[in-house]
């Protein structure tokens, strides 16, 4: 029997975030703060100066932040619909699903700000940089005292754990980590590749046409549409490692669509 759901299969894109923040006054306020804050926007711009202009890598700026934020909230909703309990509520660091969603949104949007300093160790740097930003904006969202600090630490954990070699300790963090690897359609690869250089990185990135997320045999089904099998390089070197260290691996399946072929990829 098909799983009941309020979410059909959705394309990973910058527009996905709008659907999720529109349903929550708290998330809508947080979204406006993030999008209108001068420091945050300049850090995202400088992340692209470092990554794109100086290293000739792919996008790590505002568009990437919006895509990851939307995808993270979508994954989180899919898990909630199938009975997965937020770690922050289970462990009593937060009190409501709305607060858990706020952690996901803030962490996803801010996860790459460390690139404004350097690509090396940017997850660690970004988590530290986020501390002062969160101390500044959380009171504007109505959070002060101990609640402000608990939200802040959950967000910092999620940012730090987007590092490839770091395991997530919360469901919220896992959604951000996996979603960071979903922004790979039409050349938006998460494996950094040099612009203008034709190699497996570039060919693989350009082979991915669309990424979709919805329910399937697992609570989360990721469908990667590719023009040819070269796109598998991105899936194997970006998405799969993130899934395997997200602590969400039992809830996720990955299906490849290559022209007219459908290929189950994960789990094998």
Global model pTM greater than 0.85: yes
Q: Give alpha helix (H) positions in the chain.
A: 16-21, 25-36, 38-48, 62-81, 87-90, 97-110, 122-137, 145-160, 171-180, 200-207, 232-234, 240-244
pLDDT in tens, 210-244: 999 999 999 999 999 999 999 999 899 989 999 99
pLDDT of residue 188: 74
Helix (H, G, I), strand (E, B) or coil at 143: coil
Check if the beta carbon of residue 16 is closer than 8 Å to that of residue 70: yes
| Per-residue pLDDT band at 34 (split at 50, 70, 90) | very high
pLDDT in tens, 139-160: 999 999 999 999 999 999 999 9
Question: Can you read off the two tokens belonging to residue 69?
Answer: 């934020």
Check if the beta carbon of residue 180 is closer than 8 Å to that of residue 68: yes
Q: Report the alpha-carbon distance of residue 81 to residue 93 in Å, rounded.
A: 21
pLDDT in tens, 61-105: 999 999 999 999 999 999 999 999 999 999 999 999 999 999 999
Q: Report the alpha-carbon distance of residue 239 to residue 184 in Å, rounded.
A: 9
pLDDT of residue 59: 81
DSSP 265: E
Question: Can you read off the two tokens belonging to residue 94?
Answer: 């937060």
């Amino acid at each position: 029997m098909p799983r009941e759901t309020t979410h059909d299969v959705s394309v990973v894109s910058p527009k996905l975030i709008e659907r999720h923040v529109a349903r929550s006054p708290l998330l809508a306020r947080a979204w406006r703060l993030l999008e209108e804050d001068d420091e945050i926007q300049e850090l995202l711009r400088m992340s692209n100066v470092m990554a794109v202009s100086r290293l000739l890598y792919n996008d790590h700026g505002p568009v990437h932040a919006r895509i990851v934020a939307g995808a993270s909230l979508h994954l989180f909703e899919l898990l909630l619909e199938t009975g997965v309990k937020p770690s922050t509520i289970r462990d009593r660091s937060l009190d409501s699903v709305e607060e858990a969603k706020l952690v996901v949104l803030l962490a996803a949007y801010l996860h790459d700000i460390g690139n404004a300093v350097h690509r090396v160790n940017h997850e660690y740097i970004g988590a530290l940089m986020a501390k002062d930003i969160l101390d500044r904006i959380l009171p504007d969202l109505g959070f002060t005292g101990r609640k402000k600090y608990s939200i802040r630490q959950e967000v910092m954990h999620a940012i730090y754990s987007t590092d490839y070699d770091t395991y997530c300790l919360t469901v919220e963090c896992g959604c951000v980590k996996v979603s960071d690897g979903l922004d790979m359609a039409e050349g938006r690869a998460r494996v950094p590749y040099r612009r203008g250089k034709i190699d497996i990185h570039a060919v693989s990135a350009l082979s991915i046409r669309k990424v979709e997320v919805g329910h399937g045999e697992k609570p989360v089904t990721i469908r990667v549409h590719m023009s040819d099998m070269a796109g598998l390089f991105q899936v194997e070197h970006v998405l799969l490692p993130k899934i395997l260290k997200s602590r969400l691996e039992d809830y996720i399946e990955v299906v490849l669509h290559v022209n007219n072929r459908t290929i189950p990829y994960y789990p094998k």
